[in-house]
Amino acid sequence: MARMRRRPGGRPGRRTAPGAPGGAPAPRAAPGRAGLILAQVLVVALFAVLGARLWYLQVPMGEHFARLAAADRTQELVVPATRGQILDQAGRPLVRNRTALVVSADWHALQAMPDQGADVLARVAEVVGEPVEEIRARTRLCGPEVSRPCWPGSPYQPVTLADDVDARAALQILERREDFPGISAQQLAVRDYPHGELAAQALGYLQPVTQEELEAREELRKQFSGVDQVGRDGLEATYDAELRGTAGVRTLAVNNRGEVTGVVDEQRPEPGMHLVSTIDQRVQKTVEDALRRGIDRARKAGHPASSAAGVVMDVRTGGLVAMASLPSYDPSVWQGGIDQETFDELLSEKAGEPLNSRVMQGQYPPASTFKVSSLAAGVRGGKPLRGTYSCPSSISVGNRSFENYEGSSHGSLSLHRAIVVSCNTVFYQMAYDEWRSDERKKKPDDVFARTAEDFGFGAPTGIDLPHEAAGRIPTREWKRELWEATKEESCERAESGYPGVAEDDPGRASYLKKVAEENCTDGYRWRAGDAVNFAIGQGDVLVTPLQLVRAYAAVANGGTLWEPRVGKALVSADGERVEEIEPQKAGDLEVDGEVVSYLQKALTAVPKQGTASGAFGGFPQDQVSVAGKTGSGSALDSDSTAWFASYAPADDPDLAVVVVVPKGGTGGETAAPIVREIYEGVYGFTRDEQDAGGKSVEGGDPDLPGGEPRRGELPQVRPDGTVDLAAGE
């Protein structure tokens, strides 16, 4: 092995690269050019990305971030719009607005307090002068198990503690905020009902927005101001969106301490539109006053009447000039929270369910007023329009006897005379003959039911108000469905009977047991008794006063069925924009024109020579001729339901009027006099009447409309928001 040679100094010698001259050392390797270039590219790319990002943030997104920055210094406040008024057809206010001082609480702020706001609510009660228990109760959220008063709206709204508060009380709350945390006092627009109970069910009422409504209705969420209310019934509900208007937005400047320093921007609210209704306030008052007097007369005559309904329809358009239901109520009871006693009374059957409109929700057997449909059905089924018919006191159908009212007999007569004297047996016989014919057919004609449906019975009319009842036209199919639903109960009663009823009335209990036995075995069958009862509007037939007035309006105008309307036009708050609500035709009577003319002549004779002649004795028929029909709907162990359905003038019909008084006696003694009084008010007639003491007094009411019913122009809304009554007022 060769040894390494050392150089002087003792260090080993350095090796030389092969071929290096003179043994010089090998040079170091230089850094790679590829790596240097890559580094330079990365640096340039980073600067490019950074530059692009800066440009993007400053140019395209500059305005966006400017708004975000401004948002840190501003606050948006939703400003509620003023709700539109509801006017009568002449422009008189039925519902308007007024300003009230309202004390409210932040529900969440109260819940966050250690005592859930008990102390502060006690102080509020002392200031506003109301019992502390009521103030506390109003902060509870309403629910199935929570009694009134309670808060029916969203917990995110200010909870109303007291309204119509004295200004000094409100000022104490505003000046001593440290003593009233979570409490506010402010002026708010509230609904005002200048005529109290007048047309209450038609107008409806307002209630705070619920959380469910906020979640379901996007238009409410977008404009939620915290004090919003929505229509809960009547016109307030149907035309809620138009009446409510569009909320505004006020952008406030605030400093870092949350103090408002100014207004940055403001989008003013757009007031709601005024709703001009078809109701005539004076005719409405006439109807309600006449109904009250009619109920009083019925009770003095020994009938247990406690409710009534009256409706006046324009036969040429379907517009409702008046719709009255008694008992009524004052819609202002909803403001500020309703107590449990009042709430229960509004729904109480004992109190007459004043919240319900008997005009469109009350369902009653129409009795002889239904004969306009039955006459048309009989002729449609083949009976001669101008034939002669027998009117005995009764007819036998199966093992039952069906009688005329009070067993009267009228011999041979025409269908015209059968309407005038209201002969039941003529219509019984026509229906019985039709039933026997149908029984022999595989597919029965059911002409009486089909004709009733053509008159608009058994289905909603389409009125622009919520919660309308459909009435009932019983058919073979309906009878079978009812039997299937009640068969089990009928069979149980067929076996056990009615022991509770038998203690007081054995005869009635025996009758009910036989009915149950019959219904148990073959209650699905459409029997002859069903058919003959149907023909005079009895049995299972039910109609609403609204359906009946529309049917009589169709007879009056020659055969047109209208969709009833209460809304006539929407007018902007400055009067610049008008949206008329056009009448809607629902269809035509499927009745021959000759039959309609025949009915018109027969109905015109009823107040002159027939069952309503006593009520209309002395009425100026030469000036305004009234056509109509009485009805007395009987019920088991109950007084009759009194009806009068009519229209006038008979020779040039303008208005149809229907009145019903449940448990009021007969139509001629109770309902017809009320209708006469309505026509006297509408057309401005007066008469001498006997008061309760028998003293002769001058009739007539100075507040009644008088003169011809007006179809004037729409009321004019001036630019300042005031209303000019329609022409002719």
Tell me the DSSP string of 9-21.
Answer: TSPBPPP--TT-G
394 with 563: CB under 8 angstroms?
no
Is the same domain home to 288 and 257? no
Q: List C-alpha distances in Å: 38 to 35, 45, 76, 398, 534.
A: 5, 11, 53, 112, 100
The pLDDT of residue 702 is 46
Is the same domain home to 519 and 621? no
Classified as helix, coil or strand, 473 is coil
For 279-317, the pLDDT digits (tens) are: 999 999 999 999 999 999 999 999 999 999 999 999 999
> E strands of 223-277, at which residues?
229-231, 248-254, 260-267, 274-277
pLDDT at residue 697 greater than cutoff 50: no
Alpha-carbon gap, residue 335 to 330, rounded angstroms = 11
Alpha-carbon gap, residue 494 to 324, rounded angstroms = 43
Nearest-CA neighbor of 677 among 356, 308, 303, 278? 308
Q: Is residue 27 situated within a structural domain? A: no
pLDDT at residue 483 greater than cutoff 80: yes
Structurally, how many domains does the chain consist of? 3
Q: Which residues contact 627 (CB under 8 A, 6 or more apart)?
A: 556, 600, 603, 604, 606, 607, 646, 647, 648, 650, 653
Is the same domain home to 386 and 524? yes
pLDDT at residue 15 greater than cutoff 60: no
Q: What angle do CA 223, 226, 228 make, to 5 degrees?
A: 70
pLDDT band at 61 (very low <50, low <70, confident <90, very high): low
For CA atoms 582, 586, 592, 598, give the dihedral sign: negative
646 with 629: CB under 8 angstroms?
yes
Q: List C-alpha distances in Å: 656 to 316, 319, 709.
A: 10, 11, 12
In this structure, what token pair is assigned to residue 318?
A: 């379907």
The pLDDT of residue 72 is 54
- Residue 316 belongs to a domain with what CATH number? 3.40.710.10
Is the same domain home to 437 and 298? no
pLDDT at residue 415 greater than cutoff 60: yes
Q: Which residues contact 7 (CB under 8 A, 6 or more apart)?
A: 13
Give the mean pLDDT of 631-644.
Answer: 86
Q: Is residue 3 situated within a structural domain? A: no
Nearest-CA neighbor of 161 among 214, 219, 213, 103? 103
- Residue 462 belongs to a domain with what CATH number? 3.40.710
The pLDDT of residue 698 is 38
SS (H, E, C) 126-187: HHHCCCHHHHHHCCCECCCCCCCCCECCCCCCEEEEECCCCHHHHHHHHHCHHHCCCEEEEE
Q: Phi then psi for 645, rounded to 5 degrees? A: -115, 135
Alpha-carbon gap, residue 124 to 118, rounded angstroms = 10
Give the mean pLDDT of 418-439.
Answer: 97
Q: What angle do CA 448, 665, 694 make, to 5 degrees?
A: 145
Q: Is residue 1 situated within a structural domain? A: no
269 with 247: CB under 8 angstroms?
yes
426 with 356: CB under 8 angstroms?
no
Is the same domain home to 556 and 514? no
Is the same domain home to 133 and 200? yes
142 with 207: CB under 8 angstroms?
no
Q: Is residue 46 situated within a structural domain? A: no
pLDDT at residue 28 greater than cutoff 90: no
Alpha-carbon gap, residue 8 to 249, rounded angstroms = 99
Cα 640 from chain centroid? Answer: 29
Alpha-carbon gap, residue 37 to 41, rounded angstroms = 6
Is the same domain home to 598 and 614? yes
230 with 240: CB under 8 angstroms?
yes
Give the mean pLDDT of 123-147.
Answer: 94
| DSSP state letter for 439 | H
Give the mean pLDDT of 14-24.
Answer: 46
b/e burial code for range 199-214 (CB count within 10 A of at least 16 → b): bbbbbbbbbbbbeebb
277, 309, 335 — which closes off a domain? 277
pLDDT at residue 360 greater than cutoff 80: yes
pLDDT at residue 8 greater than cutoff 70: no
What is the chain's percent helix, strand, coil content, to nearest 5? 40, 20, 40
Other Cβ atoms within 10 Å of 478 Cβ, number: 15
b/e burial code for range 325-344 (CB count within 10 A of at least 16 → b): bbbbbebebbbbbbbeeebe
Host H or E run for residue 552: helix 545-557
pLDDT winner (highest mean) among 18-32, 74-88, 572-586: 572-586
712 with 729: CB under 8 angstroms?
yes
Is the same domain home to 97 and 169? yes
> E strands of 425-509, at which residues?
none
For 250-281, the pLDDT digits (tens) are: 676 776 666 667 777 878 889 999 999 999 99
Output the furthest CA–CA distance in the chain (Å, rounded): 166
Alpha-carbon gap, residue 290 to 689, rounded angstroms = 14
Is the same domain home to 124 and 262? yes
Is the same domain home to 567 and 507? no
The pLDDT of residue 67 is 59
For 29-50, the pLDDT digits (tens) are: 455 677 778 777 788 878 777 8
- Residue 91 belongs to a domain with what CATH number? 3.90.1310.10
Give the mean pLDDT of 361-385.
Answer: 98
248, 277, 306 — which closes off a domain? 277
Give the mean pLDDT of 601-630.
Answer: 97
Cα 82 from chain centroid? Answer: 22
pLDDT band at 441 (very low <50, low <70, confident <90, very high): very high
For 500-549, the pLDDT digits (tens) are: 888 888 888 898 898 899 899 989 999 999 999 999 999 999 999 999 99
| Residue in this structure with the two tokens 């029909």, named with its chain if needed | 629
Give the mean pLDDT of 206-235.
Answer: 82
Q: Phi then psi for 288, rounded to 5 degrees? A: -65, -40
The pLDDT of residue 215 is 81
Alpha-carbon gap, residue 458 to 478, rounded angstroms = 12
pLDDT at residue 2 greater than cutoff 60: no
Give the mean pLDDT of 545-559.
Answer: 98
The pLDDT of residue 10 is 45
Percentage of residues of the chain with pLDDT beyond 70: 87
Q: Which domain holds residue 105?
A: 75-277
Q: Is residue 55 situated within a structural domain? A: no
Q: Is residue 263 situated within a structural domain? A: yes
Higher pLDDT, 334 or 729: 334
pLDDT at residue 20 greater than cutoff 80: no
The pLDDT of residue 64 is 63
Is the same domain home to 486 and 525? yes
In this structure, what token pair is assigned to residue 89?
A: 């057809």
For 647-694, the pLDDT digits (tens) are: 999 999 999 999 999 999 999 999 999 999 999 999 999 765 434 433
Is the same domain home to 237 and 317? no
b/e burial code for range 260-281 (CB count within 10 A of at least 16 → b): eeeeeeeeebebbbbbbbbbbb
Q: Is residue 710 situated within a structural domain? A: no
Host H or E run for residue 241: helix 240-244
Q: Is residue 58 situated within a structural domain? A: no
Percentage of residues of the chain with pLDDT beyond 90: 67
Give the mean pLDDT of 355-378.
Answer: 98
